[in-house]
Amino acid sequence: MNRFRAVAIRAIAGRELRSTLFNMGIYVAIALGLIVASFMIYTYVTGIMEYGMAVMPSSKTETRYYSELPQSPEPMLVPLQWTVYIGAIYITLSASLSISRERDQGTLEVLFYGPVDSLSFVIAKFVEQLLSFGVVLLFYIAYFVVMSAISKFALGVGFLKMIILSLFLAGCMASFGMFLSSMTRKVKTSVILFLVFVITFLAVPMIHQFVMVQYTSTMKGAVSVARHVTSTLNFLVSWISPFAYLGRGTTAIILGSTSELIKSLFFSLIYTVVFLTASIVIFNRKGVRR
């Protein structure tokens, strides 16, 4: 990467980051994540105080998938996971608008009169999304440190691993969002694509899980077909959806599987590179005109 590209990337990323920090959207995402985490931690504390319940960080589905139980329970992991989900959804929405908004407004043509090409522009937008997620993550970390001191729920090694995993997830989400944005010329189209894919990514695993536990002797054939269809869709979503990479990584952290965590990070990196490359190629073909 030559010096001119580096200068262009730094200038565009800096401009976009300043714009993001002066926009309410990022703070709404942070607030929503903290509200969800607060509710979950409050539920944990209430359960312990009133019923003496043990706080388990994983679901039955996760333990059944790996056929083992968590070795070192860390109650803060699940609340952190949900805050990361919310922050990542914000990053995906922001990234899905990053190219189409500039193209729709006609500002791309102005930018490309200077020392800016498709590679530097897409990389700059990607860097800005990662920096924005870093800001979100700093708020989350500060919150959980304070809540750990108040609730006495310790932040262990799993918490640090989750932070690292979330950075890889941010790369997946940003690259996927930019892939959607590179394909569209209008902001409205980008928003529609974003909603369709996010709803699909979240709904398919839930529908699959629901169908797999169904059994009726009178509709055995229909249930069998539904299981086959949802299994195929769930398999595809497990590789296309960035959320799936966080889910697998989180389960590996909870169950103390270092090999599975490394595998999740590796595939997350490949996912990011593939979609970022695809974004650059498509952006090149679409051009900068509205």
At residue 58, the pLDDT reads: 43
At residue 63, the pLDDT reads: 43
Contact (CB, 8 A) for 34 and 83: yes
Give the dihedral sign, CA 252/255/256/260: negative
Residues in the chain predicted with pLDDT less than 70, given as ranges, are 1-2, 49-73, 106, 108-115, 214-221, 287-290
Domain limits, the chain: 3-286
At residue 61, the pLDDT reads: 40
Contact (CB, 8 A) for 242 and 176: yes
CA 52 centroid distance within chain: 34
At residue 144, the pLDDT reads: 93
At residue 67, the pLDDT reads: 45
pTM here? 0.82
How many other C-beta atoms can be found within 10 angstroms of the C-beta atom of residue 106?
11
- 122: Cβ contacts below 8 Å, ≥ 6 apart: 99, 178, 182, 276, 279, 280, 283
Residues in the chain: 290
| Encoded amino acid at 172, one letter | C
At residue 217, the pLDDT reads: 55
State the Cα–Cα distance between residues 80 and 248, nearest whole angstrom: 15
At residue 284, the pLDDT reads: 82
